[in-house]
Structure 1
């Protein structure tokens, strides 16, 4: 094969080793039913993670990445983002007393409805 086989393969380009305290050296075995394994794989792939990293992040109460927005809902998602931004600006001004005759409870209810709509667009349960 010769040296040409190694050309362009990133030889010598590996990452520096992690410090000992950051290396994951403990192997944990978990037994699941077929249905549980399928559910785990679905949830993990929905967030763009492999099952192992998904379990680690979920079990250690770390923030999991947001699921991708389904293609069907992308336009609605973008519109919702603009609406939410405007609502946040109004809420901020209302709390500063710079918006006349706005009931903050109405703004808070609207913010809650925006959050519910976001979850619905992502297909997330409450």
Structure 2
């Protein structure tokens, strides 16, 4: 018996606006849109996706699940995401972390990690 991770569901006050924001932030495409939902994926035939569903309730407290993004250049990516409408978020970090915590336009936290070290001498 097998299983495939299809999507992560994100509750949103405005699923279309938040879905479009994440599509732009990640460079993904919209694969499905209905009045109360929007799904984005890395490509139409690639999984997993993010499904944004309508939920008018306001969340309180820190997210219990969040995305970690690993860009080639952390500082440039943070600047790009801030220009798209993200904002810095405080979830109790000490300030010495190698990642930056941001929040999307609806306040969902996510982390922008430092880039992975490149291959060492010898190419591995």
TM above 0.5, one fold? no
Larger radius of gyration: 1
Looking at secondary structure, tell me which structure has more helix per residue.
1
| TM bracket (short chain) | under 0.3
Normalising to structure 2: TM-score of the pair?
0.26
Which structure carries more relative contact order (alpha carbon 8 Å, separation 6+)? 2
Looking at secondary structure, tell me which structure has more strand per residue.
2
Normalising to structure 1: TM-score of the pair?
0.26
